[in-house]
Chain A
């Protein structure tokens, strides 16, 4: 069965902190994605990656960066967390041309 895991379910950080959100997939899928989910706004794509060391900006990349050093791991980085980055963050993985499978999500609160 497909499995995508995220390092934390809940995180509380201070404004200005550097935050790392980790995602791991065991499906050997090429594609990995980071979304944020906010009430009334649906799922918005932050960054995605089609291969190791490759990254592409999504719809809302400002304030975020990513890293993909290994095929199974895709990290989202908030260089200097701000309160407007309080959100649910969802990672997903999938093969090219096929559906995406989501991780359980990380609920981040920035104080």
Chain B
């Protein structure tokens, strides 16, 4: 089955800096890659996703890039703010099967 590895497990940045979280996946046929944000005590919420026919997708301060050859995808957050502090999960899916999640990255943005 699919295997997703996520790095780093924790990330501390200063407000205004950029943050990058990276994930690698094992099955080259995986075709859907969502990112979820989970604030403390709340449910994971989708923040951005990308399909395998696209190399990059942006939504305001967040972007996701996909490198199918290397089988990795990354979340980029620019101009970080304290409210970006949360746990971020990447995931990958093969076809219509289930999502396989990474173990999460705790992002802390210090004012």
Contacts and interface: CB of A to CB of B under 8 A. Distances in A.
Interface of A: 33, 40-45, 48, 58, 90, 96-97, 99-105
A105 to B, nearest CB: 6
Contact of A90 (B43, B96, B103): B43
Given A42-B101, A99-B32, 5 more contacts: A42-B6, A42-B89, A45-B98, A45-B99, A104-B42
Interface of B: 6, 9, 32, 34, 36, 42-46, 49, 89, 95-96, 98-99, 101-104
A26 to B, nearest CB: 15
Contacts of B101: 42-44
Given A43-B44, A90-B43, A100 B96 contact: no
Contacts, number: 40
B33 to A, nearest CB: 10
A45 B42 CA distance: 18
A41 B103 contact: yes
Given A40-B103, A42-B89, A90 B44 contact: yes
Q: Which of B45, B89, B101 has the most CB of A within 10 A?
A: B101
B105 to A, nearest CB: 10
B46 A103 contact: no
A68 to B, nearest CB: 15
10 contacts: A33-B98, A40-B103, A42-B101, A43-B44, A90-B43, A97-B95, A97-B96, A99-B32, A99-B34, A104-B42
